[in-house]
Structure 1
Amino acid sequence: MNYQSEGTIFGQAGGDLPPQRFARGWHCMGLAAPFKDGKPHTLQAFGGKVVIFQQADGSLAALDGYCPHMGADLGTGTLVDGNVACPFHGWQWNGQGECAHIPYSPRIPRKARIKHYPVMEQNQQVFIYNDPEGNPPPPEVAIPAIDAVMNGETLPWEWQTIHIPTNCRELIDNAADATHFYYVHGWSVNRFENIFDRHMATQNAWFEARKDVNFGEVETSESDFDFRSTATYYGPAYMIVNQTADYLGKPVELFLINAHYPVSPNSFMLHAGVTTKRVEGVSEEESIALGRSFGKAAVDAFFQDVELWKAKTRVDNPILSEFDGPIYQLRRWYEQFYVDVADVKPEMTERFHLDMDLTVPLERWAADQAKFKNK
């Protein structure tokens, strides 16, 4: 199963040369509701600042965060009739980046425009589209709806946002990293499948909790639970994870959001959101408690990865075994978002499918667990 290649994808190895441009695609900036409080909000993103605010019709808009008049931070301004007003001289900007009003001048300069970002709301979250070439977002790359969320079948989102001082690709590699689940999360990977196709990258996995939890410190004769997970990146920065588990005899369906937006080439803001469907056949209170318990376990596992990302370095040419997963193929897929559209190569977007044969790792993991159990 020699599907790995040791060709350079992004340049030198060594961890100090992340791409100096930001990915083309939709980026989740957070839950939508907090941006609808009647105030402009500034975020550090894409190497500068972005201001997000609610327009008169209730929709959200996003502009470059600095007023092009004299450079003030628009996020410290106010909203006037759905426009963001600069705190320095009162110039007002609408959601299309046009100067709508100068309170002390009847004439608006023809060049009075500011960069604006396409915005969409989906799954109770707000997204902005970044494209270094300035092209509008193609309809086919729109963020899909999670039907259960949009239909009110889920609990409110539990949402956390933290700053990660490393490049975005460290996060992406996890989608193809089959073996880290055993060592980092305590899950035996019974099956692992990757599908990379166009702007989407999917990981299908079947997990079982290790029988030697914490290497024998808390032993169990049987797995606490097993579950299936389907995780798909829609573009470079937004993953929807759908997990279904049978936990203590009760089915639980969970949705986890793994999303980020770049702050600089060497740092990003990471969103971890989780919600669960209400569990059928149990009371509302028990459904909420079970959902939150399962959701907390998923987020706790996610943040085990975060601790590693904070401390690791960038390696452009990793030395891989045959069971590490299609890391190079995933990075080739990811590269499409860092080049001009005209430079996207077929191998970046063509369908790639791998259902890994994990027979050897599973045999060795079983022996490993038995060794600790017999101590």
Structure 2
Amino acid sequence: MTTTDDQEFREIESAGAPTRFARGWHCLGLLKDFRDGKPHQIKAFGTELVVFQGENDGQLHILDAYCRHMGGNLAKGQVKGDSIACPFHDWRWGGNGRCTGIPYARRVPPVAKTKSWPVLERNGQLFVWHDPENSKPTDEVTIPELPGYGTDEWTDWNWSSIVIEGSHCREIVDNIVDMAHFFYIHFAFPRYFKNVFEGHVAGQFMNSTPRDDIGIGSSYDNPDSRLESEAHYYGPSYMVDVLRNYVGDRLVETDLINCHYPIDNNSFVLMYGARVKKPAGISDERANAMAQKFTDGVKVGFEQDVAIWLDKAPIDNPLLSEEDGPVYQLRRWYQQFYTDIADVTEDMTKRFEFEIDTTRAVESWQAEVDENIAAGRVHRAAR
């Protein structure tokens, strides 16, 4: 607190963004975008990576992008067999990081090895494991398999990405406990809201309805619809949101992915995608159009968030009301991914549950909505 002549007021505290990158699985995008026979350069974790698919083994591999021989950029080279060839001197590097051949040399130096990054292919997406301690990922912290992926029951992913400059990726994680912003930023009306943290998983359970004082722009957003959402972060950067939207007597089931990876300490790539369970009697074309429309709506929502992140102050000591949710508990949970494994404490991983009493919020927001309608003030929800 700071004291002036007539009052005390709270100062904003901020220690700055973490100087290390989070331990955990990070999604880099859709598998199909990397399976084209070409090397792909990814700027992540303050360095450069190269992703390539072996011609023979068919596997995706991730290495440091710069050749350990003379620093050539492997992402500018060619895939040759199951190796990536440097464009500078044609040194070949296998998926395990070992040099597999030097065309002009009699032998490969025994120490010729570069960094190979652990890879996971799951749910049609590519993941890379990052840990400054170079630990190996375990089954306990893996990414769950989504039911029905790859079957005719569901559409394929409708996928988008955006680069966020000037903000740390921890800003997006705060949203999982932030009930109130759904009303003011996203024009939703939370009726039930609960968080559960345990181990490497942070969950959000929310039931909501559309606001009556907005212009409806999506076929999902029937004024009489209701949405049940169960969202879980699996590790520091990959969230699966299972959505059940009830529109009259129809149920629309959607899986939303919200994920990111850091470029550096002050920028990150935000990706999101949706798939829809095909309702009975709906053509593939219609189901894909539904997924596209839903993703378009999600895009607007993320753009609304981004506008806030880029114009807000980072704050380590937020001043909270009871209805603001367990922000400090979430941040303790999140801290485990920026801490050496030996230093992770019980309060970062033990089970924690918190349900917000929405009674006051619902009464206040309903009064605001009624007043807006009476005054003819209608918000337009761009979709």
- What is the distance in 2 between the residues matched to 1:150 and 1:27? 21
Q: Secondary structure at 2:67's aligned position in 1?
A: coil
Asked if structure 1 preserves the Cα contact closer than 8 Å seen for 2:66 and 2:72, the reply is yes
Match of 2:173 in 1: 172
Asked if structure 2 preserves the Cα contact closer than 8 Å seen for 1:193 and 1:354, the reply is yes
Offset from partner CA, 1:99-125 (integer Å, 9 cap, x none): 110111122122211111100100100
- Equivalent residues in 2 for 1:282-297 (5 A)? 282-297=282-297
Look up the equivalent residue of 2:38 and give its one-letter code: K
Look up the equivalent residue of 2:46 and give its one-letter code: G
Match of 1:4 in 2: none
Asked if structure 1 preserves the Cα contact closer than 8 Å seen for 2:150 and 2:156, the reply is no
Match of 2:31 in 1: 32
Asked if structure 2 preserves the Cα contact closer than 8 Å seen for 1:175 and 1:203, the reply is yes
* Stretches of structure 1 lacking an aligned partner (at least 5 in a row): 1-11, 217-221
Asked if structure 2 preserves the Cα contact closer than 8 Å seen for 1:276 and 1:295, the reply is no
Displacement of 1:312 in angstroms is 2.4
1:65 matched to 2:94: no
- Equivalent residues in 2 for 1:352-371 (5 A)? 352-371=352-371
- What is the distance in 1 between the residues matched to 2:323 and 2:45? 35
- What is the distance in 1 between the residues matched to 2:87 and 2:23? 31
- What is the distance in 1 between the residues matched to 2:239 and 2:80? 35
- What is the distance in 2 between the residues matched to 1:161 and 1:292? 14
Match of 1:9 in 2: none
Look up the equivalent residue of 2:26 and give its one-letter code: H
- What is the distance in 1 between the residues matched to 2:27 and 2:312? 24
Displacement of 1:281 in angstroms is 3.2
Displacement of 1:151 in angstroms is 3.0
Q: Secondary structure at 2:331's aligned position in 1?
A: helix
Match of 2:380 in 1: none
Identity of aligned residues (%): 43
Offset from partner CA, 1:264-295 (integer Å, 9 cap, x none): 01111111111111111334443333343334
Asked if structure 2 preserves the Cα contact closer than 8 Å seen for 1:164 and 1:309, the reply is no
Q: Which 10-residue stretch deviates more, 156-165 or 175-184? A: 156-165
Q: Secondary structure at 1:288's aligned position in 2?
A: helix
Query: Would the alpha carbon gap of residues 309 and 81 (structure 1) be closer, same or farther in structure 2, given more than 3 Å must change?
Result: same
Query: Would the alpha carbon gap of residues 239 and 361 (structure 1) be closer, same or farther in structure 2, given more than 3 Å must change?
Result: same
- What is the distance in 1 between the residues matched to 2:94 and 2:187? 50
1:198 matched to 2:189: no
Match of 1:183 in 2: 184
Q: Secondary structure at 2:17's aligned position in 1?
A: coil
Asked if structure 1 preserves the Cα contact closer than 8 Å seen for 2:14 and 2:317, the reply is no
Match of 1:86 in 2: 86
Query: Would the alpha carbon gap of residues 159 and 15 (structure 1) be closer, same or farther in structure 2, given more than 3 Å must change?
Result: farther
- Equivalent residues in 2 for 1:1-375 (5 A)? 14=13, 17-55=16-54, 56-165=56-165, 166-213=167-214, 223-247=223-247, 249-375=249-375
Match of 1:8 in 2: none
Asked if structure 2 preserves the Cα contact closer than 8 Å seen for 1:52 and 1:60, the reply is yes
Query: Would the alpha carbon gap of residues 342 and 188 (structure 1) be closer, same or farther in structure 2, given more than 3 Å must change?
Result: same
Look up the equivalent residue of 1:125 and give its one-letter code: Q
Q: Which 10-residue stretch deviates more, 183-192 or 107-116? A: 107-116
Offset from partner CA, 1:21-49 (integer Å, 9 cap, x none): 00000000000111111111111000010
Q: Which 10-residue stretch deviates more, 280-289 or 116-125? A: 280-289
Query: Would the alpha carbon gap of residues 167 and 31 (structure 1) be closer, same or farther in structure 2, given more than 3 Å must change?
Result: same
TM-score by length of 2: 0.90
Q: Secondary structure at 2:148's aligned position in 1?
A: helix
Q: Which 10-residue stretch deviates more, 151-160 or 163-172? A: 151-160
Asked if structure 1 preserves the Cα contact closer than 8 Å seen for 2:274 and 2:291, the reply is no
Displacement of 1:223 in angstroms is 2.7
- What is the distance in 2 between the residues matched to 1:204 and 1:88? 53
Query: Would the alpha carbon gap of residues 288 and 37 (structure 1) be closer, same or farther in structure 2, given more than 3 Å must change?
Result: closer
Query: Would the alpha carbon gap of residues 291 and 264 (structure 1) be closer, same or farther in structure 2, given more than 3 Å must change?
Result: closer
Look up the equivalent residue of 2:51 and give its one-letter code: I
Between 1 and 2, higher relative CO (CA 8 Å, sep ≥ 6) is seen in: 1
- What is the distance in 2 between the residues matched to 1:303 and 1:257? 16
- What is the distance in 2 between the residues matched to 1:127 and 1:284? 28
Query: Would the alpha carbon gap of residues 89 and 261 (structure 1) be closer, same or farther in structure 2, given more than 3 Å must change?
Result: same
TM-score by length of 1: 0.91
How many residues in Structure 1 have an aligned counterpart in Structure 2? Answer: 358
Q: Secondary structure at 2:172's aligned position in 1?
A: helix
Look up the equivalent residue of 1:365 and give its one-letter code: W
Match of 1:7 in 2: none
- What is the distance in 1 between the residues matched to 2:36 and 2:248? 41
- What is the distance in 1 between the residues matched to 2:268 and 2:294? 27
